[in-house]
């Protein structure tokens, strides 16, 4: 076997490998001897089939196996002997005119990870913004819980429905006077003003009484889940069964006991604890962004173009999805195009920060333990059907890239915690509004990172992950929003498909997402009934690593 380097430019490497025909033949001969005792052929005793006949029967497949294993070994040898750390899977190509009996010429091309300079982490200074949940915030949270437990009592037959009332209706939807599939239902409970139905539907229930009949005129949103209904005008013939008025929920010990707790004091304590956790998360987000900014400002090194391109493509695809939800999708895409260079710079930052955090973790013994990895697998498996969870777990354990993608967020959090421990941190008390304003200012103003789900340092598996911001697609003028940034890992495309879709159609209760089948996700069929409003697309989804 001969390995010749043909390219060594920046982070790009290329090699030509020649595998002699005699080496391939030797592999085939060895395999023939190995399988001969198991070969059965009429006219021969078991294990006595001549080698030439075995070659005649299985020669083509044996040669293909020998060639594939030789190529894999040669690529591994080239990487090992040259001390390479591939950034992506190498491209491997066998010469087009190869035929059995000839030497095999294999060309491999790859990008390698850069030599990351020694991270500068000894003089990091950060500020932790502290917010204590006040009595008003706790009271407001308790009231939200009470509102969610609201009960309704049936009103008199002459009572006219008002905003906040619950109305039970039978309905039949039509487009151009023709009923459509799934547009009919009975006894659906609608709370006026809840926004659970498509725009304009609930408002037309105001003033109706029990046993009233009415014609509701609406237009389905352009981005409605059912393409057959999207953007179309429709009518709904409805009959009101009952009108119910909301009762007042008193927040006391009995209310807490109804929730399975012992007292209002216990409920209040739990609510306060949840608020403290939420505020602590916001404070950590702010401090993490400042940390990433400092790391980005003090480190600059070349990053693999292929990793940047993969990261940019992921960002761009998610921005495209967001733009499609805008009223003027073409204008939104035009705004995106103006900022293409900015999004590319964000991708570069993500990859560089990911490699940097990975280097910091490796140099300081940060790791995700086997026990923690098992916990992550068990948690991720919950999104799949019961019968598929074991198969999903085996998939993760047998696929290094998928395992690294799952491990990355926890690993990154550990690296960040390590850096927090080393940093000099001062604390300053602020209000929640001030903390949120500080985070929002970062969203609007600069390349700050938010929730970095990041770099798994598994160099042995050739895929360090990146960290950085999450850009938000800009809307068409005049509703222009600034680029919003946070961070996530940018793992290789190795994980199973995970998108479960449910078209939230019509007034009835929205359908729960189907449990996924491993390793691919199951797609829930869209509900047939059309009156419920489609959940709005989340903004700023292009997270970074």
Higher-pLDDT residue of 51, 257: 257
Taking 60 as the threshold, does the pLDDT of residue 477 lie above it? no
Which pLDDT does position 182 carry in this prediction? 85
Taking 60 as the threshold, does the pLDDT of residue 406 lie above it? yes
Which pLDDT does position 125 carry in this prediction? 95
How many whole angstroms separate alpha carbon 112 and alpha carbon 119? 19
Average pLDDT along the chain: 80
**Local confidence band at 150 (pLDDT 50, 70, 90 cut-offs):** confident
Taking 90 as the threshold, does the pLDDT of residue 435 lie above it? yes
228-242 mean pLDDT: 93
284-312 mean pLDDT: 93
Looking at 135-144, 356-365, 459-468, 513-522, which range is the least confident one?
A: 459-468
Q: Which residues pair with 218 in a beta bridge?
A: 234
Taking 60 as the threshold, does the pLDDT of residue 76 lie above it? yes
Nearest of 512, 505, 508, 532 to residue 228 by alpha carbon: 505
Q: Give the contacts of 12 (CB within 8 A, at least 6 positions apart).
A: 109, 110, 111, 112
Percent of the chain whose predicted confidence (pLDDT) is above 90: 55
Taking 50 as the threshold, does the pLDDT of residue 541 lie above it? no
Which pLDDT does position 479 carry in this prediction? 36
108-117 mean pLDDT: 91
The three state secondary structure string of 373-429 is HHHHHHHHHCCECHHHHHHHHHHHHHCHHHHHHHHHHHHHHHHHHHHHHHCEEEEEE
Counted residue by residue, the chain has a size of 545
The contacts found for 213-219 with CB under 8 angstroms, 24 or more apart, are 213/237, 213/238, 213/239, 213/240, 214/238, 214/240, 216/171, 218/531
Percent of the chain whose predicted confidence (pLDDT) is above 70: 81
Taking 80 as the threshold, does the pLDDT of residue 193 lie above it? yes
Taking 70 as the threshold, does the pLDDT of residue 69 lie above it? yes
Higher-pLDDT residue of 36, 325: 325
Which pLDDT does position 423 carry in this prediction? 95
Taking 80 as the threshold, does the pLDDT of residue 133 lie above it? yes
The three state secondary structure string of 82-145 is CCCCECCCCEEEECCCCCCCCCEEEEEEEEECCCCCCCCCCCCEEEEEECCCCHHHHHHHHHHH
Taking 90 as the threshold, does the pLDDT of residue 453 lie above it? no
**Local confidence band at 444 (pLDDT 50, 70, 90 cut-offs):** low
410-427 mean pLDDT: 95
Query: Which tens digits make up the pLDDT trace of 3-62?
Result: 999 999 999 999 999 999 898 888 888 887 787 777 777 777 777 777 777 777 777 888
Q: Which residues pair with 94 in a beta bridge?
A: 106
Which pLDDT does position 101 carry in this prediction? 83
Which pLDDT does position 247 carry in this prediction? 85
């Amino acid at each position: 076997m001969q390995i010749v380097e043909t390219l060594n430019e920046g982070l790009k490497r290329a090699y030509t490998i020649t595998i002699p025909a005699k080496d391939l033949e030797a592999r085939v001969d060895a395999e023939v001897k190995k399988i001969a005792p198991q070969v059965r052929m009429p006219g021969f005793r078991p294990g006595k089939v001549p080698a030439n006949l075995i070659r005649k029967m299985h020669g083509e497949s044996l040669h293909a196996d020998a060639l594939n294993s030789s190529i894999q070994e040669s690529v591994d040898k080239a990487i090992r002997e040259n001390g390479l750390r591939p950034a992506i899977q190498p491209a491997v190509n066998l010469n087009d005119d190869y035929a059995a009996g000839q030497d095999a010429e294999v060309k491999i091309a790859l990008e390698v990870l850069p030599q990351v300079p020694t991270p500068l982490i000894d003089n990091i200074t950060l500020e932790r913004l502290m917010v204590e949940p006040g009595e008003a915030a706790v009271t407001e949270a308790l009231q939200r819980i009470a509102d969610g437990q609201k009960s309704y009592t049936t009103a008199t037959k002459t009572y006219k429905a008002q905003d906040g009332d619950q109305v039970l209706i039978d309905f039949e939807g039509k487009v151009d006077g023709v009923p459509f599939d799934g547009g009919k239902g009975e006894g659906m409970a609608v709370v006026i003003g809840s926004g659970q139905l498509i725009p304009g539907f609930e408002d037309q229930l105001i003033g109706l009484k029990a046993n009233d009949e009415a014609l509701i005129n609406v237009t389905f949103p352009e981005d409605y889940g059912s393409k057959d209904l999207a953007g179309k005008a429709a009518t709904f013939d409805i009959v009101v069964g009952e009108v119910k008025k909301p009762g007042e929920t008193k927040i006391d010990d009995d209310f807490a006991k109804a929730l399975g707790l012992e007292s209002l004091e216990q409920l209040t304590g739990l609510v306060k604890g949840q608020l403290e956790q939420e505020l602590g998360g916001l404070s950590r987000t702010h401090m993490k962004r400042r940390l990433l900014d400092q790391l980005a400002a003090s480190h600059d090194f070349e990053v693999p173009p292929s990793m940047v391109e993969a990261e940019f493509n992921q960002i761009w695809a998610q921005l495209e999805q967001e733009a499609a939800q805008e009223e003027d999708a073409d204008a939104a895409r035009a705004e995106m195009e103006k900022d293409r260079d900015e999004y590319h710079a964000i991708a570069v930052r993500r990859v560089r920060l990911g490699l940097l955090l990975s280097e910091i973790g490796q140099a300081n013994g940060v790791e995700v333990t086997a026990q923690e990895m098992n916990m992550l697998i068990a948690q991720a498996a919950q999104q799949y059907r019961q019968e598929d969870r074991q198969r999903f777990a085996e998939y993760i354990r047998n696929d290094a890239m998928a395992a690294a993608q799952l491990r990355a967020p926890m690993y990154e959090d550990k690296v960040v915690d390590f850096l927090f421990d080393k940093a000099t941190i001062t604390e300053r008390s602020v209000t929640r509004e001030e903390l949120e304003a500080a985070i929002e200012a970062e969203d609007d103003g600069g390349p700050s990172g938010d929730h970095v789900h990041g770099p798994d340092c598994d160099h042995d598996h050739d895929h360090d992950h990146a960290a950085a911001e999450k850009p938000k697609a800009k809307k068409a003028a005049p509703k222009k929003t600034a680029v919003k940034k946070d961070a996530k890992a940018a793992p290789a495309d190795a994980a199973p498909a995970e998108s479960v879709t449910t078209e939230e159609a019509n007034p009835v209760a929205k359908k729960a997402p189907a449990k996924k089948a491993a390793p691919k996700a199951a797609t829930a069929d869209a509900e047939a009934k059309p009156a419920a409003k489609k959940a709005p697309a989340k903004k700023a989804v292009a997270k970074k690593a």
